[in-house]
Amino acid sequence: MYQWAGNVVNHQLVQHEDKTLGVTAPASFADYFTAEKEFKAVKKQGSVKIKDNNITLSAEEDSYALADMGTRSPSMKLECDVSLDADGCAGFAFGGSQQDETYTALCLDAAQGLLHYEGLEIEDLDDFDPMALTRFDFSKQETHHVTLVCENEIVILYVDNVKALSAQIKHSINGAHIGVFADGCDASFTNISTKLPAE
């Protein structure tokens, strides 16, 4: 599986008000990712609304909605705020290239209280139990701040400066696209910002 991928990445520890420790992207990333990438997104499947730097998705049970934000840069940082149904699963989709039109799913899974990635296509998520995962309590707040850091096929997902999940996402570069999805639920991705390393 993918459990090892990116696990030697350094994270920055943060202490919360309740004295618990969390993890976030190192502060030095702000000096590295400085070139703003123009936001563009298109509807690929299901009910999708795009306005400014915001995407709202709605999917009935046993279906999914998907918005594609174009070709993924090999090295990038994406930040946004995510809200989803308490019994839903949403997240980031990688794929849609000419070589591989399918999309695999990096999941914020409120229904199971997990962040996970198994290399599964979005439509197959309900057929398998998560294996590469970390537990996450989505009930503490309605909106979650997400930072996604990508370096070639290594992708690190940071949520609320609490948890990180790193994975090797194959077929996520060399023409692959990045997008957002909602699987059988309503979800919104707002204030989306993508930055690249300065040239």
The parent domain of residue 149 ranges over: 12-197
Determine, yes or no, domain membership for 186: yes
Determine, yes or no, domain membership for 102: yes
How distant is the alpha carbon of residue 195 from its chain centre? 15
Return phi, psi of residue 129, to 5°. -80, 140
Determine, yes or no, domain membership for 1: no
pLDDT of residue 48: 98
Determine, yes or no, domain membership for 2: no
Count structural domains, the chain.
1
CATH number at residue 100: 2.60.120.560
pLDDT of residue 4: 60
Determine, yes or no, domain membership for 30: yes
pLDDT of residue 3: 56
Determine, yes or no, domain membership for 155: yes
Contacts with 17 (C-beta within 8 Å, 6 or more apart), sequence order: none
pLDDT of residue 170: 86
pLDDT of residue 193: 97
Q: What is the pTM of this model?
A: 0.94
pLDDT of residue 6: 56
**Contact by Cβ (8 Å): 81, 99:** no
Determine, yes or no, domain membership for 5: no
Stretches where the chain sits below pLDDT 70 are 1-8
Determine, yes or no, domain membership for 4: no
Contacts with 184 (C-beta within 8 Å, 6 or more apart), sequence order: 59, 60, 61, 62, 63, 64, 88, 89, 126
pLDDT of residue 97: 87
